């Protein structure tokens, strides 16, 4: 038997797992799922899986121990038992949902849950995420920072839901280029547009110099999503994956009136955008974010429902709860829209 540790938004992780063929599983804790088929190459492609591996017996642990290894585990009692039984010198305590780089790169990790020993065999692409999120030269809180891990999950949710082979992904609100870098890494060609392509251009030179860049295409052009789509090369697009525009930065002083106005502006922009997409494509699969305000009555879902009702040619699916860190005022409701 095998297991995966999923991210905080377990709905998105479960959906992604299902789309990649891991549909037979049981939950043993909030974030740990048992799966009965195992394909490390496929698990390695998932953004919502933090770590994965197989269930082993306590006796089998000795087969995986090496004197030089740094041992990680989630349970102090279990760590002490490893010390007593196998003579390991020390262990590091690690929460299942955290990745300890020392243990990942130079050690072994055993989780202990419900009397089961879980040997970790693979980890999320934390080095890739950190390079994209923290090393790209152009970044900025004002425009919002989409974690590359979220871009990764959204790409998989879209490519997994699309009919047919996906070769090219398009982000019409490309911003800093995050979606494009992740798409390139996973083998997709990428088209990105924005009313301001300067940040993405600056980051693209950096991206091409990293070890993660493998010569996939990355094309940038200037475009306002409110204007009709015309470019012929947009016919090559198989999936649209975009964070979109989340509105002006808000803080604790932002009033309900201002939030309502922001949502109305965002609605108008997205509505024009969806209509342009619909006119241009007969069939398209799209994953995008809609901002949800934690301080707003009904979190602003009313505007999202209005957007859905006004664009019935798309099948809308709200994917789980909004993606948001504790204390954040704006959450991202992930939406799958198919035409």
Ligand X SMILES: C[S@@+](CC[C@H](N)C(=O)[O-])C[C@H]1O[C@@H](n2cnc3c(N)ncnc32)[C@H](O)[C@@H]1O
CB atoms within 10 A of CB 192: 28
CA 57 from centroid of its chain's CA atoms? 33
315 and 337 in contact (C-beta within 8 Å)?
A: yes
The two counts, helices (H) then strands (E), for the chain are 10, 15
Nearer to ligand X, 96 or 175 (CB): 175
**CA distances for 109 relative to 157, 177, 274, angstroms:** 29, 34, 46
- Quote the least distance from Cβ 25 to ligand X, whole Å: 31
Tokens encoding 211: 């070890």
SS3 (DSSP) at 71: strand
Nearer to ligand X, 73 or 148 (CB): 148
- Quote the least distance from Cβ 217 to ligand X, whole Å: 18
- Quote the least distance from Cβ 310 to ligand X, whole Å: 18
Q: Is 133 in the site for ligand X (CB under 6 A)?
A: no
CA 130 from centroid of its chain's CA atoms? 13
- Quote the least distance from Cβ 268 to ligand X, whole Å: 10
Return d(Cα 317, Cα 80) in angstroms, integer.
Answer: 47
Nearer to ligand X, 208 or 226 (CB): 226
**x-or-dash pattern for ligand X, window 137-176, by CB under 6 A?**
------xx-x--------------------------x-xx
- Quote the least distance from Cβ 244 to ligand X, whole Å: 7
Q: Is 178 in the site for ligand X (CB under 6 A)?
A: yes
Nearer to ligand X, 110 or 176 (CB): 176
Nearer to ligand X, 79 or 175 (CB): 175
**x-or-dash pattern for ligand X, window 192-231, by CB under 6 A?**
--xxx---------------------------xxx-----
Q: Give the residue closest to ligand X by C-beta.
A: 175
Nearer to ligand X, 56 or 269 (CB): 269
- Quote the least distance from Cβ 138 to ligand X, whole Å: 9
337 and 286 in contact (C-beta within 8 Å)?
A: yes
Listing DSSP states for 160-180 in one string gives: HHSSS---EEEESS-TTSHHH
Exactly one of 2, 188, 245, 270 binds ligand X (CB under 6 A); that residue is: 245
- Quote the least distance from Cβ 195 to ligand X, whole Å: 4
Listing DSSP states for 4-67 in one string gives: EEE-S-HHHHHHHHHHTT---EEESSSSEEEES---HHHHTT-SSEEEEEEEE-TGGGGGG--T
Pairing of strands 285-293, 315-318: unpaired
Q: Contacts with ligand X in 260-299 (CB under 6 A)? A: 269
Please give the residue ranges that form the binding site for ligand X (CB under 6 A): 143-144, 146, 173, 175-179, 194-196, 224-226, 243, 245-246, 269
């Amino acid at each position: 038997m095998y297991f995966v540790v999923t991210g905080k938004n377990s709905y998105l992780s479960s959906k992604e797992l299902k789309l990649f063929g891991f549909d037979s599983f049981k939950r043993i804790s909030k974030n740990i799922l048992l799966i009965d088929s195992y394909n490390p190459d496929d698990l390695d492609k998932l953004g919502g899986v933090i770590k994965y591996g197989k269930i082993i017996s306590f006796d089998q642990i000795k087969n995986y121990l090496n004197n030089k290894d740094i041992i990680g585990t989630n349970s102090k009692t279990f760590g002490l038992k490893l010390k007593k039984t196998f003579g390991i010198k020390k262990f590091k305590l690690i929460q299942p949902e955290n990745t300890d780089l020392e243990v990942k790169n130079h050690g072994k990790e055993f989780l202990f849950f419900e009397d089961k020993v879980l040997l970790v065999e693979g980890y999320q692409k934390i080095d890739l995420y950190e390079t994209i999120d923290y090393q790209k030269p152009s970044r900025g809180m004002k425009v919002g920072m989409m974690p590359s891990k979220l871009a990764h999950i959204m790409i998989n949710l879209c490519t997994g839901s699309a009919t047919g082979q996906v070769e090219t992904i398009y982000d019409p609100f490309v911003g800093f280029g995050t979606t494009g870098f992740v798409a390139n890494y996973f083998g997709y060609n990428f088209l990105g547009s924005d009313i301001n392509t300067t940040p993405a251009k600056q980051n693209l030179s950096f991206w091409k110099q990293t070890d993660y860049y493998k010569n996939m295409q990355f094309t940038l052009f200037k475009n306002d999503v409110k204007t009709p789509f015309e470019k012929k090369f947009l016919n090559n697009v198989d999936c649209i994956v975009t964070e979109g525009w989340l509105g002006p930065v808000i803080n604790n002083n932002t009033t309900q009136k201002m939030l309502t106005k922001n949502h109305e502006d965002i609605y108008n922009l997205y509505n024009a955008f969806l209509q342009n997409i619909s006119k241009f494509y007969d069939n398209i699969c799209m994953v995008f974010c809609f901002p949800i305000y934690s301080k707003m009555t009904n979190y602003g879902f009313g505007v999202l429902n209005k957007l859905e009702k006004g664009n019935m040619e798309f099948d809308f699916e709200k994917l789980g709860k909004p993606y948001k860190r504790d204390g954040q005022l704006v959450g991202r409701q992930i939406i799958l829209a198919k035409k």
